[in-house]
């Protein structure tokens, strides 16, 4: 009986780690090779946010979509799976609903690891928080 109970506990513990290790995929396609690869609702306290890219595809361009409240997108750092990174100054108002311009990734078509962006929230009449989506354009290798 003890062996059966021990086996049950090991199987249960092992499957718990497997289930929790599965990250939620955020990816969503819009039929034009643009894929939503991350999203967040930003608050008025932080001024920097990191989006981990779970999609293992090669991307050549990115853009941000903003809803609910405008933001000033200050700058961003794109981290690639090969360890390199790209710093991009933006300093642009993104109205809601709206989107940033298309940002070309200067290291060519690559797999992304994460995108870290700095922003400033703007006061709005409803004190709403901005919902920000990160979209990437998938290209062949």
Residue 20 lies in a domain: no
pLDDT in tens, the chain (141 residues): 554 443 344 444 333 332 222 233 445 665 688 999 999 998 777 799 999 998 778 999 999 999 999 999 999 999 999 999 999 999 999 999 999 999 999 878 889 999 999 999 887 777 789 999 999 998 765
User: Has residue 15 been placed in a domain?
Assistant: no
**What per-residue confidence (pLDDT) applies to 106?**
86
Residue 16 within any structural domain of the chain: no
CB 90 within 8 A of CB 44: no
How confident is the model at residue 124, as a pLDDT? 76
14, part of any domain = no
CATH number of the domain to which 44 belongs: 2.60.120.1380
Structure confidence at residue 2 (pLDDT): 52
Structural domain range at position 127? 25-138
Cβ-proximal residues to 9 (8 Å cutoff; 6+ apart), any chain: none
How confident is the model at residue 98, as a pLDDT?
96
Q: pTM to 2 decimals? A: 0.75
Count structural domains, the chain: 1
According to the model, what pLDDT value does residue 125 have? 75
- The three-state secondary structure class of 14 is helix
Asked whether residue 11 is assigned to any structural domain, the reply reads no
The pair phi, psi for residue 122, each rounded to 5°, is -115, 145
Judge whether 19 lies within some domain.
no
- Domain assignment of residue 8, yes or no: no
Q: Find out whether 48 and 55 touch, Cβ atoms under 8 Å.
A: no
Evaluate whether residue 116 is within a structural domain.
yes
């Amino acid at each position: 009986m003890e062996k059966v109970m021990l086996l049950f506990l090991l199987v249960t513990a092992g499957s718990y780690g497997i289930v929790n290790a599965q990250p939620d995929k955020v990816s969503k396609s819009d039929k034009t090779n643009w894929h939503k690869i991350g999203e967040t609702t930003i608050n008025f306290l932080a001024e920097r946010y990191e989006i981990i890219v779970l999609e293992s595809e090669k991307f050549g361009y990115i853009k941000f979509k903003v809803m609910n409240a405008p933001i000033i997108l200050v700058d961003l750092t794109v981290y690639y799976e090969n360890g390199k990174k790209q710093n991009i100054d933006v300093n642009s108002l993104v109205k809601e609903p709206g989107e940033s311009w298309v940002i070309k990734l200067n290291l060519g078509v690559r797999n992304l690891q994460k995108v870290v962006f700095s922003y400033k929230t703007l006061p709005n009449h409803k004190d709403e928080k901005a919902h920000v989506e990160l979209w990437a354009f998938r290209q062949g290798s």
